[in-house]
Structure 1
Amino acid sequence: MKCEMPDKNPPCEEVVKILETHKKIAVVGCSPKAWRDSHKVAKYLLEKGYEVVPVNPGQREILGKTCYKSLRDIPCGVEVVDIFLNPKRVPPVVEEAIEIDAKVVWMQLGVVDNVSAGKARENGLQVVMNRCIKEEHRKMPPRK
C-alpha cells in the first residue's frame, strides 16, 4: 500500500497563527472511546479553551458535547475542520468544509489527500496535512 505525502504544508509560523486565530474546531471522526486518538485530541483541545464540535454520524454526544452527523448539520458553523478519517473518506468532508465556509482543513497524522487539499486551497481554505493538531499546539510558544 502506497502512502501519499503532502505536496505542501504551511510553515510553522502559519500553523501557530491558525491555532491562535481560530477557536471553533469540528473533529470529524471523533470517537466516544477514550483510548482513541480522536477522543484524546478533542479532549485536549477542550481543556485548552477551544470550542470543539464532534462529528460522528453514529453518536449523539461525545465529551459532553452534542455530536453532529455531518458538518452541514452544525448550526453555527466552525472555523477549523480536523479530520480523523481514512484518506479515501476525505473528499466529501472537504466539499462540506467548503460549503460551510470553514477557514481551515486540517488532516491528522497519516491523513493526506493532495487532490482534496488543492480543491480546498482553490476555494480559499488553508490546509494542513499529516500533522497532529494537539502536537502542533504543544509546540507553540507560551503566551505572554
Structure 2
Amino acid sequence: MSYIHPSRDEIKQILQDSQTIAVVGLSDDHSKVSYMVSEAMQQKGYKIIPVNPKATSILGETSYASLKDVPVPIDIVNVFRRPEHTPPIAQEAVDVGAKTLWLQLGIANEEAASIATEGGLRMIMDRCIKVEDSILLPNGKGSN
C-alpha cells in the first residue's frame, strides 16, 4: 500500500480535533527546528509533551523518555527523527493509542506509514505541522 497525503480538509480536521501533541525528538536547543516549531504550536494553544530521553524539561513541560511513559492520552505524535528511526516510533504510537502520526517536513517512511495506518492511526508525513496549522487555522482552532 502506498501512502497518500490526506486532503487539506482532513488535515484541518485533525488539527481542530487535537489538543495534545507528543513531540518525539524535541530538542531543548532553542536554535533547533523542533524547538521552534513546538514552541509556536504551544503558543497557539496546543499541549506539547516533549519525548526526549536526554532532557528532563523542555518548554516548561516534563520530558519523557518514550511515548509509553507519557501519562496522558496523545492526539498527535509529531516526529523529528530521521526516517530510518520512524517505524519503531510508529509502532509505539499505535501501542499507546495515539490518534495521528505526523512525520515532519523532510521525513517520510512507507514502513512507518503502513504500521500507523494498519494500527488505526491517521498518517501525515513530509509536512510541517506549524506551517499546516498556520495555513489552515490562521486565527486559531476556533476558526473555520
Q: Deviations over 1:22-57 (max 9, x none)?
A: 110001000001111100111011100001100001
**Counterpart amino acid of residue 57 in structure 2:** E
Contact 2:3 2:113 in 1 (8 A): no
**Alignment correspondent of 2:110:** 114
**Alignment correspondent of 1:63:** 59
Show structure 1 runs of 4+ deviating over 3 A.
Answer: none
Shift of 1:118: 1.2
**Alignment correspondent of 2:127:** 131
Aligned equivalents of 2:5 and 2:110: distance in 1?
10
Aligned equivalents of 1:34 and 1:8: distance in 2?
33
Q: Deviations over 1:86-120 (max 9, x none)?
A: 00110111111000000000000111011110121
Aligned equivalents of 2:71 and 2:118: distance in 1?
25
Matched positions, count:
139
Secondary structure (helix, strand or coil) at the match of 2:4 reads coil
Which of residues 86, 94, 97 is equivalent to 2:82? 86
**Alignment correspondent of 1:27:** 23
Q: Which runs of 5+ in 1 are unaligned?
A: 1-5
**Alignment correspondent of 1:3:** none
Residue identity (%): 37
Pairwise CA RMSD: 1.2
Normalising by structure 1, what TM-score?
A: 0.93
**Counterpart amino acid of residue 75 in structure 2:** E
